[in-house]
Chains A and B, each alone.
Chain A
Amino acid sequence: MTLDSKLSILADAAKYDASCASSGTTKRNSREGGIGSTTGAGICHSYTPDGRCVSLLKILLTNYCIYDCLYCINRASSGVQRARFTVEEVVNLTLDFYRRNYIEGLFLSSGIIRNPDYTMESVVEVARRLRVDHGFRGYIHLKTIPEASPALIAEAGRWADRLSINVELATQPDLDRLAPEKNLQRIETSMGAIKGRIDEFKTERKKFSNAPPFAPAGQSTQMIVGATGATDSAILNQASHLYGKHRLRRVYYSAFSPIPDASNKLPLASPPMVREHRLYQADWLLRFYGFQVSELAGETAPNLDLAVDPKMAWALRNPAEFPVNINRAPRETLLRVPGLGVRNVDRILAIRRWHRLRVDDLVRLRVSLKKTLPFIEVADHRPSLIGPALPAPAPFKLKQMDLFGPPVSVASGQL
């Protein structure tokens, strides 16, 4: 099989992993030797017509797999064409692409061949050769196999910027049904071990600037949405747990499309793409806006509203928190106003030390007035139709219809 055909098959097999991030690692350059650099910020070197960014060479070492996870395209029982790269081929491909400035680095994953250790060894060997033999300073993301031995995971972290283990499903009963080889406890044990080593590296780095690195861009995971009955609340609680306990940098959500006639273990209804989008929005609210999972998806409404973004939905449920005075409210309150992002909140805080903000100022900050005005007071505006007496402000109803509006966008998840 030619290199070109292998690349076709193993790129096809890799595209279902959502992550393509190349950010958040230590700063490196090649002035002292080797090739490559990282600045901390990621770079998207291209975009495909599906709107996705191409930052890393994202491939599988092989798509042969002994596991049979029902949702996976590469599972043992799947009929897809199989291929396998040699370690040398991946190393050369990465360097050839990198030298021409096509990519920021490599995201290498693999189907499980023979056994977890054998597979992990090959994956680690690619990274080791890039770093040691070629002095590669670019970004490396390695998919980690939780069942692999701790020594191999330690070595993976030595060469990689980021490690990831996909949780795939939020709860163990779901895993038991759809991915019988996967064990949540084992996954978490691995994550915990990785976190321990990352912490160790951070402490060492403070004392010795030349301490050997360990996954400086941290670890991430991916969860499939809609393959089981797991609610948004369960998914977000799991994400929040992983962020808190294992200090994950990112949790990726991937909408699943079901297989109705193949297995009665899978659901019939396809989750709308917009659900994935809402989960990402909620994820941001948890990490950067000071929200708790229970405020976004609680016991009474365990799923996020598909028609309205989660912050707006929270604001509509809590009219007593509004209106917020833009010129006086503290940062954490401003962050809860629909339509205000972190950047604009910080700009508002800087501006209001010098003058009181007016509606025109918000326009210049490109704040969506339609979204925001019903919830705020500024020097020349007070909302007339919102208050504890009016649960849903009249001006907003229009907006709500608007959000229901273009049907295709809701179907495709493009917002």
Chain B
Amino acid sequence: MITLTVPPTFAGWRSAARKALQEGIPPGEILWEEAGGDAPLLDLFTLEPALPASIQSPVRVPPAFMELAKRVACHRAPTRWAILYRALWRITHGEPHLLDVFVDSDVHQLMGMDKAVRRDVHKMRAFVRFREVTHPEGVWSVAWFEPAHLIVELNASFFVDRFAGMRWSILTPDRCVHWDGESLGFSPGVDRSAAPGEDAVEDLWRTYYSHIFNPARVKIHAMQAEMPKHYWKNLPEAALIPDLLRAAPGRVAEMLSRSLIKSAPAESRETIISEVADWESLKESASTCQACPLYKNATQTVFGEGPRSARIVLLGEQPGDQEDIQGRPFVGPAGQLLDRALTEAGIDRKECYVTNSVKHFKWEPRGKRRIHEKPNKTEVSACKPWWKAELALVRPSVLICLGATAAQTVFDRDVRVLAERGTVVETVHAAKTLITVHPSSLLRISDPEQREHAYRRFVEDLTLVL
């Protein structure tokens, strides 16, 4: 077994590999070791008396392999030298086509390293951020970047191509590269504190970043797949991300209330509401809704509640006295009756998403009591985008319309509940859409026998969607 200690660069590996190949040393007999840091380069082969000094014809390998090796040499994995040599050996010993066989274990590992290096090169081109500092010779642009692999030299010419007329430095922990407008220079890695801390234009860049972002469509995972978190600390705009995310529901709400108050057809409410991609933002936005006058006399917006993965959505008419005070749907007498009926029908309310066609309590005073008043068509249609957005998020397979208001807003036509109750049809909202009575209608029946009969029918209707 021979130990080859090489400087960790492509050139270092190449000269050692070339000699080893000429000596005919098979890969299994070499142990590759990296010479530490900036240690002076040694004439490695004089240190290895085991090697006979015979000279053979120069080695010929496909150019594609050398290009690949140049990039793989920039990978940080210490195993790369041995794998490169093994592949080189195989290519020169009867497998010239080796690189075609992507599924070969050596090729697969090399391709994996190559991919990582190419990605890192690409990310450096994307995420380097220059900051301008004054310098005796004029403006100098300085960037701090932390590459995953040893790519500074590999990437230098890209930045020269792009910023040849500027003077700049890119500082990294491994290696720094400098361009003075005429020539390229490299120096050892430095600490982050050597880089400038700010640049006046970054404020404008952050303005652009926050405004080209659409707060109604948060897709944080899609962002992180391409811009992983470890890059964030060196990107001026990334400092905004937590705030942008936190403020997103509020911004959506503000956009909404602005468009609602103006009631201009332009930034239409439904356009905006339907773009709100998460439930929390939706609820927050609804809490400021002024699309119809009902918000004036109600205590608060009563939004839907229940698991977002619910199979069943129950849509009622509007919150009542209790719901208005507690801010939760179906918690008053009708809600309790509904819970009982659901249990008897074999449905767990906890697994249902429960909401209303109208989100504010409409009432008229009678003595000291607030008496329910039926919402009119304008109010029902003003509230329509909300339940539609809720359904778009939950995507239930079952939608139960409780009462005429719910059925009419869902089916967009006059529905006579008593005639059509108990029918299950497919709609754009759910595969099974059921029309039945509102539980509060049961409470209004004074005759106990009739009420019991009506209750039985209600439970029967509910079982239709099981």
Q: Mark A residues whose CB is within 8 Å of B.
A: 3-4, 7-8, 11-12, 14-15, 29-31, 33-37, 39, 43-54, 57-59, 73, 75, 77-80, 93, 96-97, 99-102, 135, 257-263, 268-270, 347, 350-351, 353-355, 357, 360-361, 364-365, 407-408, 410-412, 414
Contact = CB atoms under 8 A, between A and B. Distances in A.
A139 to B, nearest CB: 11
Q: Which 10 A-B pairs have the closest CB atoms?
A: A51-B222, A78-B266, A51-B219, A79-B264, A262-B265, A29-B161, A259-B268, A407-B395, A48-B213, A11-B211
Contacts of A29: 161-162, 164
B275 interface: yes
B412 interface: yes
B398 to A, nearest CB: 13
A403 B364 CA distance: 49
A172 B100 CA distance: 50
B97 A354 contact: yes
A407 B267 contact: no
A323 B17 CA distance: 46
Kindly name the residue among B204, B221, B271, B384 whose own CB sees the greatest number of chain A CB atoms within 10 A. Answer: B271
Contact of B204 (A3, A257, A364): A3
Contacts of A43: 122, 125-126
Interface string B175-207: 000000000000000000000000101111101
A187 to B, nearest CB: 24
Interface string B95-110: 0010011110000100
Nearest to B157: A29
A412 B277 contact: yes
A217 to B, nearest CB: 17
Nearest to A12: B211
A349 to B, nearest CB: 9
Given A97-B201, A407-B394, 15 more contacts: A8-B211, A15-B213, A39-B158, A48-B244, A49-B218, A50-B218, A80-B267, A93-B204, A99-B141, A102-B129, A258-B271, A262-B265, A350-B100, A364-B103, A412-B277
B226 A412 contact: no
Contact of B264 (A78, A263, A408): A78
Given A347-B102, A407-B309, A411-B392, A11 B208 contact: yes
A366 B384 CA distance: 45
Contact of A49 (B108, B213, B388): B213
B293 to A, nearest CB: 16
A414 B219 contact: yes
Contacts of A14: 212
A360 B103 CA distance: 9
B143 A101 contact: yes
A4 B204 contact: yes
Given A350-B101, A354-B100, A11 B162 contact: no
B209 A270 contact: no
Interface of B: 97, 100-103, 108, 122, 125-132, 141, 143, 158, 160-166, 199, 201-205, 207-209, 211-215, 217-223, 226-227, 235, 237-238, 241, 244-245, 248, 259, 262, 264-268, 270-271, 274-275, 277, 308-309, 381-382, 384, 388, 392-395, 412, 428
A364 B207 contact: no
23 contacts: A7-B204, A11-B211, A29-B164, A45-B127, A46-B235, A46-B237, A50-B213, A50-B223, A51-B220, A51-B223, A52-B212, A57-B208, A77-B265, A97-B208, A101-B162, A101-B163, A257-B274, A259-B270, A354-B97, A360-B103, A365-B102, A410-B395, A412-B219
B102 A351 contact: yes
B164 A270 contact: no
A15 B128 contact: no
A46 B227 contact: yes
Kindly name the residue among A47, A350, A351, A354 whose own CB sees the greatest number of chain B CB atoms within 10 A. Answer: A47
A51 B219 CA distance: 5
Contacts of B238: 46
A35 B219 contact: no
A261 B388 CA distance: 14
Kindly name the residue among A14, A46, A77, A365 whose own CB sees the greatest number of chain B CB atoms within 10 A. Answer: A46
B244 A49 contact: yes
Contacts of B259: 79
A351 B101 contact: yes
A49 B102 contact: no
Contacts of B164: 29-31, 33, 35
Contacts of A73: 266-267
Contact of B227 (A39, A47, A269): A47
B181 to A, nearest CB: 11
Kindly name the residue among A44, A48, A365 whose own CB sees the greatest number of chain B CB atoms within 10 A. Answer: A48
A365 B108 CA distance: 9
Nearest to A77: B266
A57 B208 CA distance: 8
Contact of B223 (A48, A351, A353, A354): A48
A310 B208 CA distance: 36
A409 B359 CA distance: 26
Given A48-B212, A100-B131, A407-B395, A30 B101 contact: no
Contact of B428 (A96, A258, A269): A269
Contacts of B158: 37, 39
Contacts of A268: 412
A276 to B, nearest CB: 12
A354 B394 CA distance: 51
A259 B235 CA distance: 38
B290 to A, nearest CB: 15
B212 A365 contact: no
B280 to A, nearest CB: 13
Kindly name the residue among A96, A259, A407 whose own CB sees the greatest number of chain B CB atoms within 10 A. Answer: A407
A352 to B, nearest CB: 10
Given A75-B266, A407-B395, A99 B163 contact: yes
Contact of B101 (A46, A355, A410): A355
B209 A54 contact: yes
A257 B241 contact: no
Nearest to A53: B226
A355 B428 CA distance: 51
B101 A258 contact: no
Contact of A44 (B126, B132, B213, B270): B126
A408 B270 contact: no
